[in-house]
Amino acid sequence: MAYLKLTDVTYRYKNSEKAAVSNLNCIFTTGRLYAVVGPSGSGKSTLLSLLSGLDAPTEGEISYNGTNLKNMDLDRYRREDIAMIFQMFHLFPLLTVLENVCYPLELCGVKPSSAKPRAKALLETVGITADEMKRFPSNLSGGQQQRVAIARSLAVGAKFLLADEPTGNLDAANTKNIMDILMRLTRQEDYCVIVVTHDSEVAEMTDWVMKMRDGKLIL
Ligand SMILES: Nc1ncnc2c1ncn2[C@@H]1O[C@H](COP(=O)(O)OP(=O)(O)OP(=O)(O)O)[C@@H](O)[C@H]1O
Ligand SMILES: [Mg+2]
């Protein structure tokens, strides 16, 4: 079982006196789907940014399987151990759907001839058809684009998926579909998925709900 653990984590943005998150103590393990909820400005995105190694805690520490992130090769961590999924999908508009998923594989040194079948297989697991794979992202629905973004985040095998409002632009049916995929990944493939959401119905579909307020975790 892999885990990410926060110990007394506080983070202050530069030029900001108030801590965006303060004294967080929690642990995220593989095999579970988590929701992080709380009002706007409560520190949810900051928490994801710290977990992704984009920002380092001002105080306290974050460890990955027992190793302080501070002592890890963060470029490698962010390429291989952790993946982000965003509300606006962040697909490359000038690459086809298939190329979007091949791209991170090729970045990791996978040859195009092996990247392609792997990308196709990943897209199939999230229900994208062969016809849809040839299109540009703008020619897909929002729900389809988010499924492509999930497939792309799975490409390099990172077991921790951090999702900031992944269903924020989707209707109820597509939201359910995305949450089913994320749940399946935790149940059948031992991923750890952390979903930031404003949607209480999304939170109810997870195993564990973490509530934030003013940068703190409340029970
Ligand atoms: N780059 C920044 N510089 C200074 N302060 C920031 C910066 N980004 C965020 N903050 C502040 O940090 C606090 C937490 O912000 P954060 O973005 O983590 O909130 P959030 O819970 O994700 O909110 P939302 O639901 O609106 O996305 C807020 O008070 C915000 O104003
Ligand atoms: Mg946010």
- Using the predicted structure, report yes or no on whether residue 131 has a pLDDT greater than 90: yes
> What does the pLDDT average to over 13-40?
95
Q: How confident is the model at residue 108 (pLDDT cuts 50, 70, 90)?
A: confident
What residue ranges define each of the domains in the chain, with the CATH number in brackets? Answer: 1-80+160-219 (3.40.50.300), 82-157 (no CATH)
How many residues comprise the chain? 219
pLDDT score, position 56 = 96
Ligand 1: lining residues by beta carbon, under 6 Å: 13, 16, 20, 38, 40-46
> What does the pLDDT average to over 99-103?
95
Structure tokens at 79: 């390429």
From CA 139, how far away is CA 149, in angstroms rounded?
14
- Cβ-contact 175, 9 below 8 angstroms: no
Q: How confident is the model at residue 79 (pLDDT cuts 50, 70, 90)?
A: confident
Identify which of 141, 125, 124 has the alpha carbon closest to the alpha carbon of residue 133: 124
From CA 198, how far away is CA 39, in angstroms rounded?
8
> What does the pLDDT average to over 63-88?
93
CA of 41 to the centre of ligand 2 (A): 7
pLDDT score, position 139 = 96
